């Protein structure tokens, strides 16, 4: 039978909500927030790559931001558990999965499955989320040469936040980040959260080309550009590591759920690492 | 091994198959032919499995030499092809004898023309697919568009048929019926279903979207088709959190000029989606040229599916006509 729109918006197990995305995909949201009111409960100061800055991020009270981050952490864990379950026990006809902060897009073969059937199957999976054990997070260290031509926005970020460049570097490399998901382009990991003191709005005008390996920040996120792409995040430095390459078993250096730490290196070390082909 | 020598690459020619589905968790979009239906039909015409890799040419075709000869078909848009100076028709299987040159020119219809070759184009697979992913420089032939002087391997085909059949197969006209050709005709009125943020757009915004004509911008590519036209008023509810985006999603950034996410799309995005192009019209997206004018028509989800099923039935009708045999049935037991 066809999928009725009336069944949308129903809460399933684990506080999930379903939404048709296209005639061959279904979104599962874990935000538990009424859609019309979602802006008020925005878990992360999400910064679209090509987007012009819409509002200052500092305007939000600290407390509510901390609470929202907590929501994201919990919702993202459910996203990863559902993803894990779907990878361990694939559903025939499901063709692709796009995880994000608080949602999972499930793309399926429309000639084999229909939205209602996919929702039914997913409800069964959601009921079992509690039993899913996520793998121990890997700890990945990413060497970064900060500042100079590698980090053209480092000084300005310092000026914006009332810090020296050294303080920015220290703060950025002092925390362990979590990989919420990979998206945008192959191997681009959305890392959070940035220490409170580093939260910065993205550039008003995105760069047409950000060099591969660039380490940027936007909102309370940080990440590494795997390829030369357009981008609006503020660039603090660059890593000599290849974030995504076809000629190794693990194509992407980072996987969803990993923990990441940035390790400052000198320009000389960067050049040496790059020469080694890291 | 038989090869194709690239004498002229054309404007933007890449190796494409049906893409690599299933790597969304790595941020990898499927890529694959922009007009997958044309690639599949071209492959059927030469006698390949429909997902075999072919060459996707964009707006201006190239020139290709076949030192050992090849069985070929052109699918999609008419790029005014000639073989050894003589015109070659679209949607028809033909043979290039050893040493012959196939030349294509500027498009006379849509954006893309596919060159399919019996045996397929053989490249090293990345995540199970031969598709070129231009942005990351991965897959296909060295992860890039073809250049003059490139040499591409033609795969070996596994045709097995009882002796005596081969001759009649060779003589058979491998063409498509009018009914199928009609179904392949690209549309300029694209059918769409509601996007996931549809309810955040005002009635006025939807009216603008559905009642306006949009023009395809010059900077459109395989990642996204950028449209120019009346701006769509911003949705309510402020900014949203990045989420997975579907192929054909019509996202509305600030300024209200919509962008249709295409085969080499970003896998996640934070712009609200007012609509999503129905699967049945994906092949039409692949034939859109800069400056083409398009409109959108809303259909229900169930209707979109029915249209796709119908299209599949029509496209496969030639197989039942036995003018084209399905790939599977060609695998004879002996």
Domains and CATH numbers, chain A: 5-131 (3.30.1360.40), 139-275 (2.40.100.10)
Residues of A in contact with B243 (CB under 8 A): 27, 29, 98, 100-103, 105
Q: What are phi and psi of A226, to 5 degrees?
A: -75, -30
Contact between chains at B126 and A114 (C-beta distance less than 8 A)? no
Residues of B in contact with A103 (CB under 8 A): 241, 243-244
Contact between chains at A97 and B278 (C-beta distance less than 8 A)? no
CA distance B254 to B232: 9
Residues of B in contact with A25 (CB under 8 A): 244, 246
Instruction: Give the pLDDT score at B317.
Output: 81
Residues of B in contact with A75 (CB under 8 A): none
Q: What is the DSSP letter of B326?
A: -
Contact between chains at A256 and B25 (C-beta distance less than 8 A)? yes
Nearest to B244 among A3, A42, A99 (CB): A99
Given a cut of 80, is residue A87 above it in pLDDT? Answer: yes
Given a cut of 60, is residue B331 above it in pLDDT? Answer: no
What is the ipTM, given to two decimal places? 0.92
Instruction: Give the pLDDT score at A79.
Output: 97
DSSP states of B24-88? GGGT------TTHHHHHHHHHHHT--TT--EEEEESB--EEEETT-EEEEEEES----EETTEE-
**Would you call B275 an interface residue with chain A, using a CB distance cutoff of 8 Å?**
no
Instruction: Give the pLDDT score at A264.
Output: 98
The tens digit of pLDDT for each residue in A166-212 reads 999 999 999 999 999 999 999 999 999 899 999 998 888 889 899 99
Domains and CATH numbers, chain B: 3-176 (no CATH), 189-299 (2.40.100.10)
**Which residues lie closer than 8 Å to A88 by C-beta, 6 or more apart?**
none
**Would you call A22 an interface residue with chain B, using a CB distance cutoff of 8 Å?**
yes
The tens digit of pLDDT for each residue in B119-131 reads 999 999 999 999 9
Alpha-helical (H) ranges within chain A are 62-88, 115-126, 154-161, 165-172, 267-275
Mean pLDDT of chain B: 91
CA distance B138 to A238: 22
Instruction: Give the pLDDT score at B245.
Output: 97
**Interfacial A residues in 219-258 facing B (CB < 8 Å):** 226-227, 229, 244, 246, 251-252, 255-256
Preceding omega of B91 cis (within 30 degrees of 0): no
Contact between chains at A3 and B301 (C-beta distance less than 8 A)? yes
User: pLDDT band at residue A72, thresholds of 50, 70 and 90?
Assistant: confident
User: pLDDT band at residue A1, thresholds of 50, 70 and 90?
Assistant: very low
CA distance A95 to chain B (A): 6
Residues of A in contact with B247 (CB under 8 A): 22, 24, 107
CA distance B130 to A37: 44
Instruction: Give the pLDDT score at A192.
Output: 92
pTM of the model: 0.90
**Would you call B242 an interface residue with chain A, using a CB distance cutoff of 8 Å?**
yes
Which among A186, A105, A254, A23 is positioned nearest to B31, based on CA atoms? A186
Sign of CA dihedral B317, B318, B322, B325: negative
What 3-state class would DSSP assign to A112? coil
CA distance B294 to A24: 22
Instruction: Give the pLDDT score at B161.
Output: 53
CA distance B123 to B141: 6
User: pLDDT band at residue B172, thresholds of 50, 70 and 90?
Assistant: low
User: pLDDT band at residue B332, thresholds of 50, 70 and 90?
Assistant: very low
Core vs surface per residue A63-94: b (16+ CB within 10 A) or e? eebeebbebbbebbbbbbbbbbbbeeeebeeb
Residues A228-241 have a mean pLDDT of 95
**Would you call A84 an interface residue with chain B, using a CB distance cutoff of 8 Å?**
no
Residue from A18, A23, A27 whose CB has the most chain B CBs within 10 Å, to mutate: A23
Sign of CA dihedral A43, A47, A49, A54: positive
CA distance B195 to chain A (A): 6
- N residues, chain B: 334
CA distance A118 to A26: 8
Residues of B in contact with A114 (CB under 8 A): 305
Given a cut of 90, is residue B8 above it in pLDDT? Answer: yes
**Which residues lie closer than 8 Å to B82 by C-beta, 6 or more apart?**
B88, B102, B103
Residues of B in contact with A252 (CB under 8 A): 26-27
Given a cut of 60, is residue B246 above it in pLDDT? Answer: yes
Higher pLDDT: B239 or A3? It is B239
CB B290 within 8 Å of CB B214: no
CA distance B110 to B187: 10
- Alpha-carbon Rg of chain B, whole angstroms? 21
Given a cut of 50, is residue A36 above it in pLDDT? Answer: no
Contact between chains at B308 and A103 (C-beta distance less than 8 A)? no
The tens digit of pLDDT for each residue in A39-48 reads 444 445 555 5
Which among B288, B223, B220, B227 is positioned nearest to B29, based on CA atoms? B223
Given a cut of 80, is residue B37 above it in pLDDT? Answer: yes
The tens digit of pLDDT for each residue in A6-32 reads 344 445 556 899 999 999 999 999 975
- Beta bridge mates, B330: none
| Percent of chain B whose predicted confidence (pLDDT) is above 70 | 90
Residues A79-99 have a mean pLDDT of 97
Residues of A in contact with B193 (CB under 8 A): 20, 22-23
Residues B189-202 have a mean pLDDT of 97
Q: What are phi and psi of A155, to 5 degrees?
A: -65, -40
By CA distance, what is A254's nearest residue in B?
A: B26
């Amino acid at each position: 039978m066809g999928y009725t729109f009336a069944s949308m918006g129903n809460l399933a197990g684990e506080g999930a909500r379903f939404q048709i995305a296209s005639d061959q995909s279904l979104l599962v949201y874990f935000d538990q927030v009424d859609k019309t009111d979602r802006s008020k409960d925005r878990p992360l100061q999400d910064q679209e790559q090509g987007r012009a800055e819409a509002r200052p991020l500092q305007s939000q009270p600290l407390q509510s931001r901390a609470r929202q981050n907590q929501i994201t952490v919990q919702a993202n864990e459910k996203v990863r558990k559902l993803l894990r379950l779907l990878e361990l026990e694939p559903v025939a006809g499901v063709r692709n999965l796009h995880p994000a902060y608080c949602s999972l897009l499930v793309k399926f073969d429309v000639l084999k499955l229909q939205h209602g059937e996919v929702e039914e199957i997913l409800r069964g999976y959601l009921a079992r989320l509690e039993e899913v054990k996520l793998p121990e997070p890997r700890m990945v260290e990413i060497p970064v040469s900060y500042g100079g031509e590698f980090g053209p926005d480092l000084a300005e970020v310092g000026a914006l936040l009332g810090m020296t460049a050294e303080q920015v570097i220290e703060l950025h490399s002092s925390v362990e980040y979590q990989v919420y998901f990979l998206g945008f382009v192959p191997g681009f990991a959305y890392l959070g959260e940035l220490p409170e003191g580093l939260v910065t709005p993205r550039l008003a005008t995105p760069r047409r080309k950000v060099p591969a390996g660039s380490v940027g920040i936007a909102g309370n996120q940080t990440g590494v550009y795997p390829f030369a792409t357009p981008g609006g995040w503020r660039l603090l430095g660059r890593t000599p590591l290849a974030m995504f390459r076809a000629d190794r078993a693990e194509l992407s250096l980072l996987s969803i759920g990993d923990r990441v730490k940035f390790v400052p290196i000198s320009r000389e070390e960067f050049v040496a690492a790059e020469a080694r082909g890291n | 091994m038989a090869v194709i020598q690239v004498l002229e690459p054309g404007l933007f020619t890449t190796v494409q198959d049906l893409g690599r589905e299933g790597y969304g968790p790595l941020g990898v979009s499927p890529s694959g032919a922009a007009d997958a239906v044309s690639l599949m039909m071209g492959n059927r015409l030469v006698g390949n499995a429909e997902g075999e890799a072919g060459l996707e040419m964009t707006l201006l075709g190239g020139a290709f030499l076949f030192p050992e000869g090849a069985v070929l078909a052109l699918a999609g848009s008419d790029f005014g092809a000639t073989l050894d100076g003589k015109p070659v028709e679209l949607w028809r299987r033909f043979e290039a004898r050893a040493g012959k040159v196939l030349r294509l020119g500027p498009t006379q219809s849509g954006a893309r023309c596919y060159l399919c070759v019996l045996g397929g184009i053989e490249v090293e697979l990345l995540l199970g697919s031969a598709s070129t992913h231009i942005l990351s420089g991965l897959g296909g032939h060295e992860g890039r568009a073809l250049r003059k002087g490139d040499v591409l391997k033609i795969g070996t085909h596994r045709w097995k048929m009882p002796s005596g059949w081969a001759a009649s197969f060779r003589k058979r006209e491998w063409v498509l019926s009018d009914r199928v050709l009609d179904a392949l005709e690209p549309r300029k009125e694209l059918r769409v279903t509601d996007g996931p943020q549809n309810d955040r757009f005002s009635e006025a915004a939807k009216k603008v979207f559905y009642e306006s004509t949009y023009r395809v911008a010059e900077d459109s590519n395989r990642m996204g088709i950028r449209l120019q036209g009346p701006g769509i008023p911003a949705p309510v509810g402020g900014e949203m959190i990045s989420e997975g985006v579907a192929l054909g999603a019509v996202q509305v950034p600030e300024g209200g000029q919509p962008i249709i996410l295409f085969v080499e799309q970003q896998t996640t995005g934070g712009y609200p989606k007012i609509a999503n192009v129905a699967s049945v019209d994906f092949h039409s997206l692949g034939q859109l040229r800069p400056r083409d004018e398009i409109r959108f028509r809303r259909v229900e989800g169930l209707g979109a599916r029915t249209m796709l099923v119908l299209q599949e039935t029509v496209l496969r009708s030639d197989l039942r006509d036995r003018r084209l045999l399905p790939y599977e049935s060609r695998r004879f037991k002996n």
